[in-house]
Amino acid sequence: MSDFADDEDFGELGNLDNRPVWSHDQAAGLRNLFKVKQSTGIAFMSTAADVGKTRLVARIGLALASPQSSTLLIDELGTDLFSVLGTGFRFDLVKALNGDLSLEQVLVSGGEHLKLLPAAKAVAQFALQENEGRRRLGQILAPTWRNQSFVLVDAQVMPSAGHPLSILSRAVNYVVLVVMGGVPAMTSSFQLVKRLAATMPNTQIQVIVSRCRSEDDALTVYANLAAATAQHLGVEIHWLGWLPADTSWRGATVSAHGCGLADQACETMASALRRMVSGQQGGELGLSSLGMESELGGFSAGLG
């Protein structure tokens, strides 16, 4: 039985013929402009509170960071990402965008091969000055972005009926949707997939299921959501993993050396992300295509 109350919440997307879509030629030209090389951006999103999303971003970031894969974590929400990593920050990306500081002065070290970027104030400014935000991001952030192996964004779901991602987050290659079971949470996750399909149709969506008692329960939640998005939206979503309940995570800072159940799950999902990016199709991911077109051109949508 579906976790959804009824099919009323899953109406057709409607006529999307007029939606703005980056062509392959446009995306390729913009990537050449930035000379992007093997940089993978991933936005982590959720419509529910208390699903552990910020801790997931932090712990997966720690697992990905290595001499072979420098990693940048971007915080669009405030201080939580820094808190769970046991550090703080003085400045926001907005200081670099406004020309008050260099980006290097804003970046925070999160450990070896890991950098952190606070961006909550910048995201608020983007919402009011979208075109200028694109231009300044292209100038200030793109050079640092392209030199990272991974860029993980603890993303804010934008509240308007338009694009669900900030201008900054639209640069990602992939979206990871952190979901949990129950009709209200599943319905809001479906609606978020609907918004993503309308605005970023070429961006692949991965799913992490949180707050489940077992992997079987998590797979059931995923299967119900995947069936609904496929049937009603024509959108395929992909299983990335699940986050078990882990009391050792409550109120504690996350560490690359953590060995609890949640830590082990994050290490497994980090490995899955590496396989996904390298083109090794892990069985649990069920990927049909890799190397999706990046929206990094969103930094400079006004060009061309």
Q: What is the dihedral of CA 260, 250, 43, 144, to 10 degrees?
A: -80
* Coil, strand or helix at 94: helix
Which pTM was predicted? 0.81
Q: What is the pLDDT of residue 283?
A: 30
Extents of the domains making up the chain = 22-285
pLDDT in tens, the chain (304 residues): 434 333 333 333 233 333 333 334 444 444 444 444 568 999 999 998 889 999 999 999 999 999 989 999 999 998 789 999 999 999 999 999 989 999 999 999 998 899 999 999 999 887 767 677 778 888 899 889 989 999 999 999 998 778 899 988 988 989 999 999 889 999 999 999 999 999 999 899 999 999 888 999 999 999 999 999 999 999 999 999 999 988 878 777 888 888 889 999 999 999 999 998 887 433 332 222 222 233 333 333 322 2
pLDDT of residue 156: 93
Asked if 207 and 179 touch (Cβ cutoff 8 Å), the reply is yes
Alpha helices in the chain (DSSP H): 24-34, 53-64, 80-84, 93-97, 103-106, 120-128, 130-140, 142-146, 183-199, 215-233, 261-278
Its CATH class, for the domain covering 22-285, is alpha beta
21, 301 contact by CB (below 8 A): no
Residue 204 phi/psi, 5° resolution?
-80, 140
pLDDT per residue over 196-228, tens digit each?
Answer: 999 999 899 999 999 888 999 999 999 999 999
Q: Which residues contact 231 (CB under 8 A, 6 or more apart)?
A: 10
